Amino acid sequence: MTSPKFPKNELQRLEAVKSYNILDSLPEEDYDNITALVASICDIPIALIAVLDTNRNFFKSYHGIPFNESPRDISFCGHTILNEDILIIKDARKDKRFIDNPLVTEQQAIFYAGVPLINPEGFPLGTICVFDHKPRELDKSQINALKSLGKQVVNLLELRRKNFILEATKTELEDRNKRLAVFASHVSHDLKSPLANITSLTDLLKQDDASRLSEDSKGYLNYIEESTTVLKDYIDGILRYYKSDELLKAKKEDVELSELAEDIKRVLVSNTDKIIAPNTTIQHINKAALSQILINLVDNALKYNDKSERIVTIAYEFLSDHHQFKVTDNGIGIPENQKDKIFDIFRTVKNDFGKSSTGIGLSTVKNLVEKLNGQISVDSELGKGSTFTFTIGL
Ligand code: ADP
C-alpha cells in the first residue's frame, strides 16, 4: 500500500479545518441525516463525513461503523483530498495503493467512493464517502447525489463557522460594553467628588469673603460654579446613557399616565409649570424606560422654554401594534436643519437663550426608544414650540 501524501498547502489547510471547531465535536443530527440519506441513495452499508486532522480522519458522522476516527496514513480519504473530483475505487484489493491496507484486509473495505469537501477558500477539509464490503459501482445519479450532498455538508460547515464568529463577536462586544460601563461609572464617580468640593469651596468663598470680593471676583466665582454644574450634568448624563440599557430589563406593568406626569413634575421640581396628561391607563409597558424617556423630554421642554407660563402636554394613543406618545411644549422651537441632528450624542443647538446643554439626553432617549422597537421624531416651529412623537412596540 501507499500512504497518502500531504497536500502542498497542508499547514494552511489544517488552519482552515481548525477554524470550523469541528474536530472532536459531538455527533449532530444535521450531518447524521446526510450520511443516512447517502447510504440509502447509494444502497450501501457505510457512509461517512470525514474531516482530515494532522494524523487522523475524524468522522463527524459515521453511518454503519461504530468508531469516530481512524489513522490518516491508511485512509482512502487522504488520497481523495489530493484532487478536486470524486475518487472511486471499485475493488481496493486490486489497487496497488490499497493492497495490504488493514482497512481492506481486516475491515473488508473493498469498494470506496469519496468526494472532497472543498471550502470557499479552496481548502479540502475532508470528504463525504461511502464504503462497501464487495466490489461494485455507483450509477450517475448516485454520484451526483454524493456530490450535491457534499456541497450541502460544506454549507453546513460554513454556517457553523459563521455562527462561531458571530457568537465570539457578540461575547466580546458584551464584555467590552460591561467594561465600558464600569469605566464610565468609575470615571464619573472619581470626577464627581472633586467637583462637589469645588462647588462647596466656591460657596464658602462667596459667603466668607463676600465683603472683600470685587464684583469681578464674584462674577468669576459664579462662573466657576456654573461650569461645575455643567460638568456635573455632563457626567450624570454619560452615566445615564450607559445605564439606560439596564432599564430595558424592567418588567412590563400598567401605568396611569396622569400619575406618572405628577411624578415627573416632582422629580423635575417644576411646581409653577403646567404638565398636562390624560387620565389614561397604559397597559403592559416598561414603566422604568417610559419614565426615563418622558423625564428627558419634559425636562428639555421646560429647559428650552422662554415663555412666562411653560406648558407641556403629554398625549397618548394606542395604535394597532404600538403605543404612541406626543410631548408638546410652548418653548423656543428647533431650527428645521437641526431636527434630525439633535438626536446624535453630544449634539447641541446654539441658541441665544443661554441654556447650557450636554447633548446626551436625546441620544439616550433615542437609544431607549429604538431598543423598545419604536421610533422618535420631532416637529417644531421656531418661537412657538416643539412636539416630540415617539412610539414603543407592544
Ligand atoms: P441636553 O441633555 O443637553 O438637553 P439633548 O440631547 O437633550 O441635550 O438635546 C439636544 C439639543 O436639542 C439641545 O441642546 C437643545 O438645543 C435641543 N432641544 C432638545 N429639546 C428641545 C425642546 N423641547 N425645545 C427646543 N430645543 C430642544
pLDDT of residue 356: 66
Residue 237, in any domain of the structure: no
Q: How far apart are CA 205 and CA 369, in angstroms?
A: 44
How many domains, the chain? 2
Put simply, whether the predicted model's pTM sits higher than 0.75 gets the answer no
Q: Tell me the residue range of the domain where 40 lies.
A: 10-168
The CA 372 to ligand 1 mean position distance, Å, reads 21
Kindly state whether residues 23 and 155 are assigned to the same domain.
yes
Minimal-distance CA residue to ligand 1 atom 19: 300
The verdict on 31 and 163 lying in the same domain is: yes
Domain end (from 133, 148, 168): 168
The verdict on residue 206 lying in a domain is: no
Ligand 1 centroid – CA 152 distance (Å):
54
* 240 domain residue, yes or no: no
Whether residues 143 and 20 share a domain: the answer is yes
**Phi and psi dihedrals of 49, rounded to 5?**
-115, 110
Asked if the model's pLDDT at residue 354 lies above 70, the reply is no
Determine, yes or no, domain membership for 204.
Answer: no
Contacts of 32 (CB under 8 A, 6+ apart): 61, 63
Residue ending a domain, choose from 114, 146, 168: 168
What are the pLDDT digits (tens) for 151-171? Answer: 999 999 999 999 999 999 999
Assigned domain for 42 exists: yes
Kindly state the percentage of the chain with pLDDT values over 90: 72
Give the pLDDT score at 267. 84
pLDDT the model gives residue 353: 64
Q: Does residue 215 belong to any structural domain of this protein?
A: no
Lowest mean pLDDT among 6-10, 33-37, 208-212: 208-212
Q: Where residue 243 falls among pLDDT bands split at 50, 70, 90?
A: confident
Q: Which atom of ligand 1 is nearest to the CA of 301?
A: 23
Residue 305 sits in the same domain as residue 163? no
Contacts of residue 18, Cβ cutoff 8 Å, sequence gap at least 6: none
Compute the average pLDDT of residues 325-346: 93
* Alpha carbon distance 339, 49 (integer Å): 59
Distance in Å, CA 341 to ligand 1 centroid: 10
CATH number at residue 85: 3.30.450.40
Same domain, 148 and 277: no
Q: What is the CATH number of the domain that holds 309?
A: 3.30.565.10
Q: What is the pLDDT of residue 248?
A: 87
Residues in contact with ligand 1 by the CB-under-6-Å rule are: 237, 300-301, 304, 329, 331-332, 334, 342, 347-349, 351, 357-363, 386
Cell numbers 490518516 label which residue?
Answer: 72
Better pLDDT: 188 or 380: 380
Of the pLDDT bands very low, low, confident and very high (cuts 50, 70, 90), residue 205 is confident
Mean of pLDDT values over 8-22: 96
- What 3-state class would DSSP assign to 48? strand
pLDDT exceeds 80 at position 352: no
Rounded to 5 degrees, what angle do the CA atoms 186, 269, 361 make? 45
Q: Indicate whether 14 and 161 sit together in one domain.
A: yes
Which own/partner pairs from 226-235 qualify as long-range (CB within 8 Å, at least 24 positions apart)? Answer: 226/356, 228/195, 228/198, 228/199, 228/202, 229/199, 229/356, 230/356, 230/358, 231/191, 231/195, 232/192, 232/195, 232/196, 232/199, 233/356, 233/358, 234/358, 234/360, 235/187, 235/188, 235/191, 235/192, 235/195
Residues 257 and 346 in one domain: yes
Classify burial at 173, counting beta carbons within 10 Å of its beta carbon; exposed 0-12, middle 13-18, buried 19 or more. Answer: exposed
Residue 150 lies in a domain: yes
Asked, for residue 363, whether it belongs to a domain, the answer is: yes
Among the candidates 141, 168, 195, a domain finishes at: 168
